[in-house]
Chains A and B, each alone.
Chain A
Amino acid sequence: MRNVACTIAGSKSPAVRINRRRSTQLGTMMLPAVGLLTGCMLFTRPPADIDYARTRSSASGVYHATIHPDGDSIPQGRLQRWTLHLETADGTPVDRARIEVGGGMPQHGHGLPTRPRVTRPLGAGNHLVEGLKFNMGGWWVVTFRVESAAGTDSLVFNVKL
């Protein structure tokens, strides 16, 4: 299992595919993959074509979202609060939503070192995300699985430290 999982993560493409296809399938596959790959530290450089944009559309296009970390650069090893701004595809702010936060390091095969959560809605489509931490340098992904009246969909943000 570990070898297979390592091969998948080492194929240089899964997270890139997430970004390109923006498919629900990848949004949902990535999290278990990150979870299952514990033990496969693949110390390759991140693929060159990773999109680190802070505004993204969800995998099936239901949502449009922007992350607002505290500053321009994301610090290593410190707990952080982010604001997630969430809209439907037509630009309507989404305030009432169930949001699950996840992520990890695709090339290392491990998840986040903490259990971040959306702790409260801030209004106008903004949601406070607390408990994020990145304990290593390199390429991370942060995912949001969003359920609201508009539908269920996943967002994947690439983060570089």
Chain B
Amino acid sequence: MNRSRPLRQRHLFLSLLGLLTFLASSGAAVRGRSASTDRWSEQERALLRSLTLSSLGPLPADPSNRYADDSLAARLGRRLFFDERLSSTGTVSCASCHMPDRQFQDDRALAHGVGLTSRRTMPIAGTAYSPWQFWDGRADSQWAQALGPLESAVEHGGDRTQYLHLIASDYRREYELIFGRLPRLDGLPAHAGPVADSVRAVAWRRIAPVRQEDITRVYANIGKAIAAYERRLGFAPSRFDQYVAAELAGERPTAASAFSADEEAGLRLFIGKARCANCHNGALLTDNSFHNTGVGLPGVALPPDRGRATGVRQALASEFACTGRYSDAGPDDCAELRFATVDGEELVRAYKTPSLRNVAERAPYMHAGQIATLEDVVDHYSRAPEAPAGHSELQPLRLTTMERSQLVAFLRTLSGPLVGPLAPPAGR
């Protein structure tokens, strides 16, 4: 009996020791997990969630394009997107600059079509979510956007009757299945359109207005088919999306979701001191608006560029606008256009906030490729130079060298695969 008491005490002591050890270790585990979940405040967690693809929402309808979700139109649009015959030289397709294996851009400072353009090629994935297209928002839909380059003298360089003849000879069946009968072709010149080239412009003016309208309707339908294709191009989750998902769920990071200390510090700067998320907000990391950020003039001589100040007026005047005769929208469907800001100093050299998804995969940067590397972009925002015209919205951030490199490290986590029909159609 007497010997059993010390034994029981020893058992009790060992049990208590075991319990304490267990509590200590489980406490460490709890602390470890809460250290993970406590890294971000509730407000920061809400902001982080808003920046991930899980917050993107469904593809918005395009009431101006009744074929936007027509799979036959998307199939035709995909073929047209990759068809180099849609150009004056037979060598330039949409995919020549919007290269599917390069984020639908071309790695060049200024796009090269049949000539040299004055702007950087913009990527396409996710643009169905944007009410404005082009750097200056001079088109208010994907289909209106697609029609700009097709008859630009330096991009595709083609014209409306040329494209009508091509549709009639090579795409008639597919086209008529979707859009109805093509107009008659008799007496139409091989080349005519409201383009810069004076010979083709004169030929266009000689065509009766009623036939011009029929031709232009086919032209608009080409844009609508291409838009039906482009709207299927989107983003799959990046490492950033996976990191935030794990953080919000309080899960241990996996190899796919783990952030380095620099990447995490960069994210904190992105939503904090560096204020990137002011404009690069939402799941596509853009506010779809226009800002003058003091980007300098390009190194080559280009025509004066007033950005949104010119672009918004072009959008309003476009025959392919939401409110135009080739649009399928009802009178209440064009609110972005009706309520667009059309004047003011804020629009001068203001350019569209680009999505930052896959930003590390597509140097150079800015609307004319003025900045070569991500490091230099971050340096630009840190210095906040004066704008060459208008007023820059930036204020100097005075980021340290380490902070700048942390931001760049974070920006690289925004890369992920594209989704959708990326490749050229089979049998091409």
Interface residues in chain A, defined as those with a beta carbon under 8 Å from any beta carbon in chain B? 2, 6, 35, 38-43, 76-77, 79, 108-117, 130-131, 133, 135-138
Contact = CB atoms under 8 A, between A and B. Distances in A.
A39 B339 contact: no
B19 interface: no
Contacts of B281: 76-77, 135-137
Contacts of A43: 275, 278, 395
Contacts of A131: 335, 338-339
B395 to A, nearest CB: 5
A116 B394 CA distance: 25
Nearest to A117: B339
Contact of A108 (B278, B289, B292, B391): B278
B341 A110 contact: no
Contacts of B341: 111-115
A135 B335 contact: no
B340 interface: yes
Nearest to B335: A79
A42 B393 CA distance: 10
Going nearest first, the 3 A-B pairs with the smallest beta carbon separation are A131-B339, A39-B391, A135-B287
A75 B172 CA distance: 45
Given A112-B341, A115-B340, A40 B395 contact: yes
Q: Is the interface of B mostly helix, strand, loop or mixed?
A: loop
Contacts of A117: 339
A38 B346 contact: yes
Given A2-B391, A110-B393, A111-B346, A79 B336 contact: yes
Given A38-B346, A41-B394, A114 B340 contact: yes
A86 B139 CA distance: 37
Contacts of B346: 38, 110-111
Contacts of A38: 292, 345-346, 391, 393
Contacts of B345: 38
Contact of A41 (B47, B289, B335, B393): B393
B279 interface: yes
A130 B342 contact: no
B288 interface: yes
8 contacts: A39-B392, A41-B393, A41-B395, A116-B339, A131-B338, A131-B339, A133-B339, A136-B287
B234 interface: no
B100 interface: no
B282 interface: yes
Interface string B323-337: 000000000000110
Contacts of B47: 137
A161 to B, nearest CB: 10
A18 to B, nearest CB: 21
Given A35-B344, A111-B344, A79 B339 contact: yes
A64 to B, nearest CB: 27
A112 B340 CA distance: 10
Contacts of B289: 113, 135
Contacts of A130: 335, 338-339
Q: Which of A39, A40, A41, A111 has the most CB of B within 10 A?
A: A39
A76 B391 contact: no
B339 A115 contact: yes
A130 to B, nearest CB: 7
A25 B221 CA distance: 54
A112 B339 CA distance: 11
Contacts of B288: 77, 135
A34 B139 CA distance: 28
A54 to B, nearest CB: 22
A88 to B, nearest CB: 28
Contacts of A138: 278
A158 to B, nearest CB: 18
Contacts of A79: 335-336, 339
Contacts of B394: 39, 41
A77 B339 contact: no
A44 B290 CA distance: 22
A112 to B, nearest CB: 7
Interface in B383-417: 391-395
A77 B50 CA distance: 12
A159 B416 CA distance: 35
Contacts of B278: 41, 43, 108, 136-138
Contacts of B50: 76
A40 B292 CA distance: 12
Interface in B301-343: 335-336, 338-342
Contacts of A76: 50, 281-282
A45 B281 CA distance: 18
A24 B341 CA distance: 26
Interface string B253-290: 00000000000000000000001011101100001111
Nearest to B346: A38
Nearest to A42: B395
B126 to A, nearest CB: 14
Given A41-B393, A115-B342, A137-B47, 17 more contacts: A39-B391, A40-B395, A41-B278, A42-B395, A43-B278, A76-B50, A76-B281, A79-B336, A110-B393, A114-B339, A115-B341, A117-B339, A135-B279, A136-B281, A136-B287, A137-B277, A138-B278
